[in-house]
Each structure stands twice: as structure tokens, then as C-alpha cells.
Amino acid sequence: MKLKVGVIGTGNWGTTLGLLVANNVKRPNVSKYFEEKVTLWGIEEYHSNELLSTIINLEHVNKKYLSGIRLPENLFCTSEISICADLDIIIVAMPHQFIKKIEDFKGIIKRNCILISVVKGFIDNPDKSITLISTYLKNTFKCKVCVLMGANIATEVAKGSVCEGTLGYEDEESKELSYLLLNSYNYRVTCVKDIPGVELVGSLKNIVALGCGLVEGLGYTGNTKVAIMRNGLMEIRKFLKYFYAESKDETIFQSCGIADLVVSCLEGRNYKYGIMKGKEDTSLEDFEKSMGGQKIQGTGTAEDIFNFLEYKNRTKDFPLFRTIYSIFIENSDPSEILRCISTDSLSDMYK
Amino acid sequence: MKLKVGVIGTGNWGTTLGLLVANNVKRPNVSKYFEEKVTLWGIEEYHSNELLSTIINLEHVNKKYLSGIRLPENLFCTSEISICADLDIIIVAMPHQFIKKIEDFKGIIKRNCILISVVKGFIDNPDKSITLISTYLKNTFKCKVCVLMGANIATEVAKGSVCEGTLGYEDEESKELSYLLLNSYNYRVTCVKDIPGVELVGSLKNIVALGCGLVEGLGYTGNTKVAIMRNGLMEIRKFLKYFYAESKDETIFQSCGIADLVVSCLEGRNYKYGIMKGKEDTSLEDFEKSMGGQKIQGTGTAEDIFNFLEYKNRTKDFPLFRTIYSIFIENSDPSEILRCISTDSLSDMYK
């Protein structure tokens, strides 16, 4: 029997993944495994007085979050939760801010369903510890979970640009099905048996992207920006090493690692907010409004990570993360970030 | 006795390093170790009918290779080789193409002099093997050699942008003196006891930068460009692992590694040539003319490395290096480069 596929989340990335998968399941070698109809689930919302799901189903375009891109006709949008009871593989692409709304699907999503999370960020617990989204989904639904991260500016992926993604997996079956569903000539998937590594670098890089935008907003150029990227990457590695020792250092070299870091620091939304903050001290609220309501993850991640580091008594080992937190959350002087470019980071970690 | 410092090479980067060092030796804690006068040696050449050295000494600007930047008055330019007999530390910043002209200094440069090479590229031997420039300098002059590489777009460094550099060293004395001479608030030096690693990543990234420019010239966007960068980095690591096993994988994380790779792939000359090649199939000669005679290293490096890989019977393990060679040297179809973005590079190297 063919598997039924769906995406939860009609945002920029969710819609793009719906498009990617809906095109993919029509390919000769893939169509024998999956049903042609792909479900795109979104909360009921309006665009110019029309239901977004209606626009997507009738006009085949997501005018609110992915305007100008034609969606395949086998991508069907709904806000009806019960439809998800049928699905065998679900890509979870909700914005991090609303992730707990996924609990509405409790008792609906099948136990043997495979969830592929593309959500960046963490669950911040009352005791200041953090829980990976993959762990949270696993605990909530007791089903198999993979994560998908990579250097994937959504609009470029939607336009069919050649790029890579990294799938973090735990068991062979969910790896093989997810790979089959996602991999294509334009979107090339590498599989890594390291869920925490893939998920963490994908989330932490948003903090670095804020910093990278900030130095650009302050008027600094390429040399300085890549110094921030590099120091950020060193802190990401250190974070994995300290707190998720089971993750693999090699994961850093995948698309979810350095590649995603670089593209996010050059084009991503967090980077763009960093520029606005460096130039004109723009508030997060105003920035998100200017992006048509699209959310950014970096500031929330910076806060979660700072709280976590405080809880672990380790803030001093992460000067860049700490400084970005203090600039973006506590409004300290943006130029403080230049102090974080280390003079001898190698000796710091590997002497 | 204070040490005498000089730079060989009046190009873009040589002049910038002359400026950096000439400013540095005036600082309170540094001036006690070095003479204030810094020598900048260049071949006799003309700019608008005037000797370049005369322009530099009288007008304090290198109108040919670093126009618009005011040079410090303690930077003294000469084309007189004998003056270099006095120097205790010499930064070697000749363009790679002319490196063998350094043999004119044989018998002039002191035996206990410290040479700091910033030259990217290799000596290609008749048997198709390669020799590192640092090894060549060591063999030629029998003196101590360090290498300095990093994410350093010359003009930005000259303007005082905050950035990092990596010093590869072999012995403590030359490390300490070089660090003292070069490190400052704006130019932050990390020292790594790994000369081949620092030198190799600094050279090999020029091949990747050509490829990155090429995909941009062909009309591809950020996701694709960072996929080329990432795959290039994987091949650089593999090259070090196969042929220079004494180098350290950690060096990749220094400024000379990922950071230099990224900035070179975004702004460097090789990247710019890649764009022109992808867009209009511009010849190397025409490109260098359009850059006012500035040389690029990437094509020569691509050729040296391809020959070396052939000699080692290893071309098949380096699809990106091989393809960039065949596009830039043998004029094969530029779109071939897209095949080099791997679908499973992790399994390739680390399964």
C-alpha cells in the first residue's frame, strides 16, 4: 500500500517542502511508494478576506507566505486536523513559536507515523533546561522522528535551485523512506545518524546570523563578518561537545552545519534583522511586521541558550552567544560584539 | 638590539602588510622590539611614468596596487636588493607567479632571518609533484619560516577593518616575534603549529572560489553557492588527510580555513574571475587586464593540483577540483560543476 504524506505548516518553508515533496512523489521511481496527493495542513487564516487554504487549493499559490511560486495541483491544503489521522509521513514545519500547538494532533497522528521535523529552536523548560524539538515530538507522539536541516533559503528551493539538505535519523526504515521522499536532482539529501547534531547546529546558527547582520549594520565588511561566522561556528562546536557529547563533530561539515551557517549569515531572516538592529536599533516587532508577519527564531534561541548556559554555569565559555543575547535581549551596546572575535581560539579549545 | 623588519612585494597584499606592520611597530609595547623604519621591497616598476617606489616614498600611497590608502611615513620603499641584507624578519608577499625571483636574494638574506610567507600556491616540480612555498623558502635560504593566511581581503585590512589571521609556525621564537609584529586590535592573530595545514587550506580555497564564482556567473543563487563551498571544503580536508597527514584537521576551523574560504568565495579575485567565466567565458588574460594587472592564483593552483592528483592516481576522489580544472583549463562545459554537489559526501569519507 502506498504511503500518505503531509506537511504541517503553511509558512514559507512548510509550503516549499509541500511543493518539493508533491513534485517528488510524481517521479517514476518514487511514485510506487507514495500516494500522489500530498496534504498541506495549516491553521485557518485569511489573506485579503479569503481563506489561505482556499487560495492554495483553487489558485495553487500561497499568496501570503510564498507569493509568485506556482504550487503543484496534487498539493492539497486543509485546516481540518482529522485528515492527518491518515498520514504515514508528516513533515513538521510549524514556526517554533507555535510548536506546542502540535499537541492538538495528539490522538490523531498514528503511532507508526514518521515525523520529519524542520523546526529550529528548542523547548525551554521551567527549570531553564532545554529539550530538542525532536525529543519533544518523540515524547508527545511516541513515533519515529527524523530532522531535516540544511542551507535552504526557502524561496530558492521553491524555485528549484540546486542545493543540499541533511537528514538526521535514528533508524534505517525512517531514513530510507525520508530520503526517497525528499532527495532529488535539485534537492540533494545526505543522511547522518546524528539527530541532536543536525538539529542543534541548525538552531544555533540563527544566533550567529543575528550577530553577522549586526556587524554589517554597524558598517563592517566581509573580513569582520566571516570572523563572526567562524567564532560562532567554534561556539556551536563547543556547545555540542559540552552538552550533547553523543553528537558527531563531523555533522558540522554537512549542509546543516557550515553551509547553513554561511547562507543564513548572508541572506537569512535573522541576518536581515541583525542589519536593521545594527543600523537603526529596529525592534523585533517592527521587523517582523516589515516581513509580512514572518517570524524569526534567532532572538528566542539566543534567550533560551543564554538561560541554559546560566543554568549550567557556563556563560563565560560562550562570549559570542552571551554578547548577542545581551545586545538583542537586554539592549546593550552593539559594538560589544567586536570583543568576541578571539585572538587565540585554538588554544582556548584544543591546546 | 631592535629587529629590522621588511616586506618583499609591493602588490595589494604586500603593501597592506607593510602598512599594518609599520603602524604596529610604533605601538608602545611593540616598539621596544622592532626598528620603526619598515622596508618595502619591490621590483622596479612604473606608474604614469614615475617609479612606484618614488611615489610610495614621496606621496605615501601605492597608486598602482592600493590606491586611495594613506601609507605610514615609516614605510620606506626600495628596489635595491642589498638593503634586505640587514633585515631580521621578512614578510614574503610576492605574487605566486614570480616566486622564483626570490632566488635573487640568495646570499643577501641573513641565515638567522625569519621569513613569513603569505604566498598562496605551490612550486610545481617537473615530476608533477608539488612543493609547499614554505618548504621551498626553507630549502632556499636555510632560515626559519612561518606562514600567514586568513580571511583578509587586502583593501579591507588596509582600511583597518577588524579581522583575524592565522600564523602557522614551527618554533616558539619565530612564533612569538611574528605574533608580536602582526597582532593588533584590528588584526587578530591565532598561532597554530601546523605550517602545511595553514598553507594548504589558504592555497586550495582559491580553486573553490573559482567554482563559487562560476555558479554565480551561471545564474545560481546562495543555496547552490554554499553547496559548492561546502563540497570544496570537504575536498580540501580530504586532500590534507591523504597527502599531508601531519597537518591538523583543526586548522580548517581557523581563519585561514573556513573563514578565508568563505570570504574568498564571496569577494575574492578568483571568485570574481569565476563570475566572468560563467557569464561570458572571459579569458584569464582579459580578466587580469581588467583588474589593472593584478594576478589571480586559482587557475594555476587548479592546474598544479590536477597534475599532482593525476601523478598520485587520485583524480577520481576529488570531483570538484577535477571539474574546476577541466572547466577553467580545458574549457569544458561550465554546468558540469553542478554534478559535483554530492548527495552523500559523509558516507564517502567517514562511513
CATH number of residue A268's parent domain: 1.10.1040.10
Same domain for B108 and B248, yes or no, is no
Confidence of residue B12 (pLDDT cuts 50, 70, 90): very high
pLDDT at B347 over 60: no
pLDDT at A175 over 80: yes
Comparing CA positions, the residue from A160, A247, A158, A155 lying closest to residue A201 is A247
Grid cell for residue B247 = 597537518
State the DSSP code for A70: P
Instruction: Report CA B326 to chain centroid distance, whole Å.
Output: 23
Grid cell for residue A244 = 550533547
By Cβ distance, the residue of B255, B267, B347 closest to A227 is B255
Same domain for B7 and B106, yes or no, is yes
A262 to chain B: closest CA residue: B226
> In total, how many domains does chain A have?
2
Query: Within a 13 Å sphere around the CA of A121, how many CA atoms are in the beta-carbon half?
Result: 23
- Whether the Cβ atoms of residue B162 and residue A224 lie closer than 8 Å to each other: yes
State the DSSP code for A94: -
The Cα angle at residue A160 between residues A159 and A166, in degrees rounded to 5: 120
Place of cell 506556482: A70
- Exposed/middle/buried for residue B73 (C-beta within 10 Å: 0-12, 13-18, 19+): exposed
Grid cell for residue A286 = 517592527
Considering the domain boundaries, does residue A345 fall inside one?
A: no
Q: Whole-prediction pTM value?
A: 0.91
Same domain for B185 and B45, yes or no, is yes
**Pick from B145, B167, B193: which residue ends a domain?**
B193
**Pick from A159, A176, A193: which residue ends a domain?**
A193
- Express each pLDDT in A109-151 by its tens digit: 999 999 999 998 889 899 988 999 999 999 999 999 999 999 9
- Judging contacts by C-beta atoms under 8 Å, the chain A residues touching residue B341 are 162-164, 188
Same domain for A139 and A108, yes or no, is yes
| 3-state percent breakdown (helix, strand, coil) of chain B, nearest 5 | 50, 15, 30
Single out the catalytic residue among B4, B64, B144, B205.
B205
- Judging contacts by C-beta atoms under 8 Å, the chain B residues touching residue A221 are 153, 156, 161
The pLDDT of B272-281, averaged and rounded, is 95
Q: Do A162 and B224 touch (CB under 8 A)?
A: yes
Instruction: Report CA A132 to chain centroid distance, whole Å.
Output: 12
* Phi-psi label, residue A292: left if phi above 0, alpha if psi -120 to 50, beta otherwise: left
Q: Which of B223, B251, B271 to mutate to test the interface with A (most CBs of A within 10 A)?
A: B223
Q: Å from A259 to nearest chain B CA?
A: 5
pLDDT at B348 over 60: no
pLDDT at A12 over 50: yes
Q: Å from A1 to nearest chain B CA?
A: 28
Considering the domain boundaries, does residue B68 fall inside one?
A: yes
Q: Do A162 and B343 touch (CB under 8 A)?
A: no
By Cβ distance, the residue of B151, B183, B230 closest to A258 is B230
Same domain for B137 and B253, yes or no, is no
Same domain for A180 and A208, yes or no, is no
Comparing CA positions, the residue from B325, B297, B333 lying closest to residue B11 is B297
In the prediction, which pLDDT does B296 show?
A: 87
Orientation angle between helical segments A319-328 and A195-217, nearest 10 degrees: 60
SS3 B170: coil
Q: Which of B226, B339, B341, B350 to mutate to test the interface with A (most CBs of A within 10 A)?
A: B226
Q: Using CA atoms, how far apart are residues B211 and B221, in angstroms rounded to an integer?
A: 13
Q: Using CA atoms, how far apart are residues B262 and B209, in angstroms rounded to an integer?
A: 8
Q: Do B227 and A164 touch (CB under 8 A)?
A: yes
Question: Is residue B13 part of an annotated ligand binding site?
Answer: yes
Q: Could you tell me which residues come within 8 angstroms of residue A201 by beta carbon, excluding any fewer than 6 positions away? A: A149, A236, A240, A251, A252, A256, A257, A260, A261
- Express each pLDDT in B154-198 by its tens digit: 999 999 999 999 999 999 999 999 999 999 989 999 999 999 999
- Express each pLDDT in B89-141 by its tens digit: 999 999 888 999 999 999 999 999 999 999 988 898 999 889 999 999 999 99
The Cα angle at residue B45 between residues B40 and B49, in degrees rounded to 5: 125
A220 to chain B: closest CA residue: B161
Question: Is residue B120 part of an annotated ligand binding site?
Answer: yes
Same domain for A44 and A75, yes or no, is yes
Q: Which domain holds residue B114?
A: 3-193
- Judging contacts by C-beta atoms under 8 Å, the chain B residues touching residue A258 are 229-230, 233, 258
Considering the domain boundaries, does residue A349 fall inside one?
A: no
A260 to chain B: closest CA residue: B226
Question: Is residue A158 part of an annotated ligand binding site?
Answer: no
- Express each pLDDT in A289-323 by its tens digit: 998 887 888 999 999 999 999 999 999 999 999 99
State the DSSP code for A8: E
By Cβ distance, the residue of B157, B188, B226 closest to A341 is B188
Single out the catalytic residue among A205, A225, A272, A277.
A205
Same domain for B216 and B169, yes or no, is no
By Cβ distance, the residue of A223, A250, A255 closest to B230 is A255
Orientation angle between helical segments A195-217 and A133-141, nearest 10 degrees: 140
- Average pLDDT along chain A: 93
Reported in sequence order, the residue ranges of A42-155 that DSSP labels E, i.e. its strands, are: 46-47, 50-51, 75-78, 89-92, 114-117, 122-124, 130-132, 144-149
Same domain for B324 and B203, yes or no, is yes
Q: In DSSP terms, which residues pair with B173 in a beta bridge?
A: none
In the prediction, which pLDDT does B343 show?
A: 55
Same domain for A125 and A204, yes or no, is no
pLDDT at A347 over 50: no
Handedness of CA A102, A283, A339, B252 (dihedral sign): positive
Q: Do B344 and A191 touch (CB under 8 A)?
A: yes
Q: Which of A223, A250, A342 to mutate to test the interface with B (most CBs of B within 10 A)?
A: A223
Q: Do B163 and A233 touch (CB under 8 A)?
A: no
The pLDDT of B342-348, averaged and rounded, is 48
Question: Is residue B154 part of an annotated ligand binding site?
Answer: yes
B26 is catalytic: no
Confidence of residue A15 (pLDDT cuts 50, 70, 90): very high
Question: Is residue A11 part of an annotated ligand binding site?
Answer: yes
Considering the domain boundaries, does residue B315 fall inside one?
A: yes
CATH of the domain at A21: 3.40.50.720
- Judging contacts by C-beta atoms under 8 Å, the chain A residues touching residue B255 are 226-227, 230
In the prediction, which pLDDT does B332 show?
A: 95
**Pick from A193, A211, A243: which residue ends a domain?**
A193
Confidence of residue A8 (pLDDT cuts 50, 70, 90): very high
Considering the domain boundaries, does residue A108 fall inside one?
A: yes
Question: Is residue B294 part of an annotated ligand binding site?
Answer: no
Question: Is residue B219 part of an annotated ligand binding site?
Answer: no
The pLDDT of B52-69, averaged and rounded, is 96
- Judging contacts by C-beta atoms under 8 Å, the chain A residues touching residue B230 are 151, 164, 253-255, 258-259
Same domain for A207 and A307, yes or no, is yes
Q: What is the ipTM of this complex?
A: 0.91
Confidence of residue B294 (pLDDT cuts 50, 70, 90): confident
Same domain for A82 and A39, yes or no, is yes
- Whether the Cβ atoms of residue B6 and residue B38 lie closer than 8 Å to each other: yes
Q: Do B223 and A344 touch (CB under 8 A)?
A: no
- Judging contacts by C-beta atoms under 8 Å, the chain A residues touching residue B235 are none
In the prediction, which pLDDT does A343 show?
A: 55
Considering the domain boundaries, does residue B184 fall inside one?
A: yes
Q: Which of A159, A176, A226 to mutate to test the interface with B (most CBs of B within 10 A)?
A: A226
Q: Do A259 and B230 touch (CB under 8 A)?
A: yes
Q: Å from A152 to nearest chain B CA?
A: 6
Considering the domain boundaries, does residue A351 fall inside one?
A: no
Comparing CA positions, the residue from B30, B37, B48, B17 lying closest to residue B180 is B30
Considering the domain boundaries, does residue A350 fall inside one?
A: no
By Cβ distance, the residue of A188, A267, A346 closest to B250 is A346
Q: Do A156 and B188 touch (CB under 8 A)?
A: no
- Express each pLDDT in A30-79 by its tens digit: 999 999 999 999 999 999 999 999 999 999 999 999 999 999 999 999 99
